[in-house]
């Protein structure tokens, strides 16, 4: 395996608090004008006041940062201007680490403290422990219930895109962080109890689902206790009010995303169950160690919730798997009963939990001994598979309480699959053909290309460049287009040799580069983004 240099994407301290203009090469279509936000950790090490070095162990626990690319076309010009600014959002957390040399509270994965004995760990379970306010996995523009009032959006003033009012960061806990959409300065932390007083659980999906027609947002809230409780809820875009659609007991699990169709919410509790009925989290003080070993005899359970208020109406079971990211879901008439509906669900599936452990920095950074020792066989077990499931015969009325079998329709080869999957957002909740994502062809210790998967032909095309590491690809549609793939993909790519990043614009139809905007330094490898067109034609949160 080649070890493309990627240190600059992980061990990085480059940020620009004030917008700077980037060098544009090639062409950027006029309809890409708008604002692109990106999240991710900006470095993971800092010096303490005791002159020691503190370092996070896992990529998910790096120091959260928001990046902003503003793309505009000056009046009367076809030449775009692209500006970039960025800012860490964890000032208080960094100050605490520097003063104390440690980080208390809950994280995704942290190294054990060798001085912390069994008795101390057990006693700490019965004491309040602060949540580390390191929130920066996904973004929501104008999030319902987050202070955004429809009809009172800001116009283009002081650099704000038309219609851009609020910006929230989310993670897999039930808290959110609000930042200024322009300066990216933190404005404060809030919890889901602000949306509804019964959303008192600790966990939620970083990826809420949004109805593209109404703008309503759907998510779950998991309250871990003697018997763990899931609450699936809907927040109205028009009123900001939140309605709890269903409440039910279930195995607590780490669930990063869910699925939405025109009439149903689908929550799959895949095989990332939290040990000891959820008590493993306060014991370990992190999620990864609290997840039980993968059990190949334990089924994944799919819950179908009616959006019209009838609650939990059906459950399904499938062979076990793990997943970070769902892709899309839609409804089709049942082939067996015309009065019923089949739900088609697509996601990036893993055969086990190995991938979650592969994201320790030692395994990712190409120069580390651990990364070099990671064999091809180990990496193969960490690759996703594009997968499609069918939940057959769903009725608008509650079905029997016994789970029905979910059908695995197709599971693509790992070399044809992707992580951080995205689609043309106008096809959300509709049958679609193309999925985009970042590929891992085992050419490096991290991601190494951008992939387009055709779920009709089951063929893929790839964009890649030696030693260039891309991030999530966000689809921006051509307003004059007539096909699903008429548009472009936006991705931020690190040139590992030059140690500088660039905003890449690819034609979605064939992944041919149209243009790029070159940065002055490296942008840290991140997670997800959100895009708003300049004329507020649409918002894409992924």
Tell me whether residue 528 is annotated as binding: yes
Neighbouring residues of 35: CB distance < 8 A, sequence distance ≥ 6: 68, 69, 70, 71, 161, 164, 181, 531, 532, 534
Q: Write the burial class of residue 186 (CB in 10 Å: 0-12 exposed, 13-18 middle, 19+ buried).
A: buried
Distance CA(38)–CA(523), nearest Å, equals 10
Which of 106-116 are b and which e, b meaning 16 or more Cβ less than 10 Å from the residue's Cβ?
Answer: bbbbbeeeeee
Distance CA(245)–CA(26), nearest Å, equals 49
Tell me whether residue 404 is annotated as binding: no
Distance CA(78)–CA(73), nearest Å, equals 6
Backbone angles phi, psi at 10, to 5 degrees: -115, -55
Q: Quick check: 261 and 343 in contact, CB under 8 A?
A: yes
Tell me whether residue 357 is annotated as binding: no
Rg (CA), the chain: 22
Tell me whether residue 284 is annotated as binding: no
- Beta-carbon neighbour count of residue 8 at 10 Å? 22
Rounded to whole angstroms, what are the CA distances from 208 to 169, 235, 386, 419, 488?
Answer: 12, 10, 20, 17, 24
Distance CA(424)–CA(313), nearest Å, equals 30
Pairing of strands 311-318, 404-405: parallel
Dig out the tokens for 328 from the structure: 């899309």
In 115-247, alpha helices (H): 118-124
- What sign results for the dihedral spanned by CA atoms 257, 163, 38, 103? negative
Distance CA(108)–CA(290), nearest Å, equals 10
Element (H, E) at 195: none
Rounded to whole angstroms, what are the CA distances from 339 to 345, 389, 396, 448?
Answer: 20, 20, 9, 46
Neighbouring residues of 540: CB distance < 8 A, sequence distance ≥ 6: 425, 474, 475, 476, 530, 531, 532
- What sign results for the dihedral spanned by CA atoms 410, 416, 419, 425? negative
In the annotated binding site for Fe cation, the residues are 207, 256, 325, 528
In the annotated binding site, the residues are 207, 256, 325, 528
């Amino acid at each position: 395996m080649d070890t493309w240099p990627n240190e600059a994407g992980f061990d990085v301290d480059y940020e620009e608090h004030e917008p700077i203009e980037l060098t544009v090469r090639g062409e950027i279509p006029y309809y890409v004008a708008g604002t692109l936000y990106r999240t991710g950790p900006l470095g993971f090490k800092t010096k303490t006041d005791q002159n020691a070095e503190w370092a996070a162990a896992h990529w998910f626990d790096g120091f959260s940062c928001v990046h902003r690319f503003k793309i505009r076309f000056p009046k009367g010009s076809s030449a775009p201007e692209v500006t970039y600014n960025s800012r860490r959002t964890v000032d208080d957390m960094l100050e605490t680490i520097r003063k104390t040399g440690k980080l208390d509270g809950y994280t995704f994965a942290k190294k054990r403290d060798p001085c912390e004995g069994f008795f101390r760990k057990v006693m700490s379970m019965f004491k309040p422990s602060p949540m580390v306010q390191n929130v920066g996995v996904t973004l929501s523009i104008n999030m319902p219930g987050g202070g955004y009032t429809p009809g009172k959006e800001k116009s283009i003033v002081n650099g704000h895109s038309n219609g851009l009012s609020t910006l929230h960061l989310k993670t897999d806990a039930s808290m959110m962080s609000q930042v200024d959409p322009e300066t990216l300065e933190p404005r404060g932390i809030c919890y889901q109890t602000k949306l509804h007083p019964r959303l008192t659980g600790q966990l939620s999906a970083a990826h809420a689902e949004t109805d593209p027609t109404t703008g309503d947002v759907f998510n779950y809230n998991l309250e871990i206790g003697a018997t763990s409780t899931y609450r699936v809820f809907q927040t109205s875009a028009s009123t900001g009010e939140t309605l709890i659609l269903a409440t039910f007991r279930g195995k607590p699990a780490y669930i990063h995303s869910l699925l939405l169709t025109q009439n149903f919410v689908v929550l799959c509790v895949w095989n990332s169950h939290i040990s000891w009925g959820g008590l493993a989290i306060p014991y370990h003080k992190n999620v990864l160690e609290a997840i039980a070993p993968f059990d190949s005899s334990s089924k994944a359970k799919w819950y179908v919730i009616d959006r019209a208020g009838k609650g939990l109406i059906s459950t399904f079971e499938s062979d076990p798997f793990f997943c970070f990211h769902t892709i899309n879901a839609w409804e089709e008439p049942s082939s067996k009963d015309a009065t019923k509906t089949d739900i088609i669900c697509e996601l990036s599936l893993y055969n086990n939990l190995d991938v979650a452990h592969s994201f320790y920095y030692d395994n990712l950074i190409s120069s580390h001994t651990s990364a070099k020792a990671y064999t091809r066989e180990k990496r193969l077990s960490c690759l996703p598979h594009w997968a499609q499931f069918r939940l057959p015969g769903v009725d608008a009325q509650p079905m029997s309480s016994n789970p029905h079998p979910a059908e695995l329709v197709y599971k693509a080869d790992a070399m044809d699959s992707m992580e951080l999957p995205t689609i043309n957002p106008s096809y959300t909740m509709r049958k679609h053909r193309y999925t985009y994502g970042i590929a891992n062809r085992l050419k490096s210790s991290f991601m190494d290309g951008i992939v387009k998967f055709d779920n009709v032909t089951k063929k893929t095309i790839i964009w890649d460049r030696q030693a260039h590491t891309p991030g999530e690809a966000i689809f921006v549609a051509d307003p004059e287009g007539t096909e699903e793939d008429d548009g472009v993909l936006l991705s931020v790519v690190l040139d590992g040799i030059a140690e500088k990043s660039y905003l890449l614009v690819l034609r979605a139809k064939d992944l041919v580069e149209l243009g790029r905007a070159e940065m002055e330094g490296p942008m840290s490898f991140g997670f997800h983004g959100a895009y708003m067109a300049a004329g507020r034609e649409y918002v894409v949160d992924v």
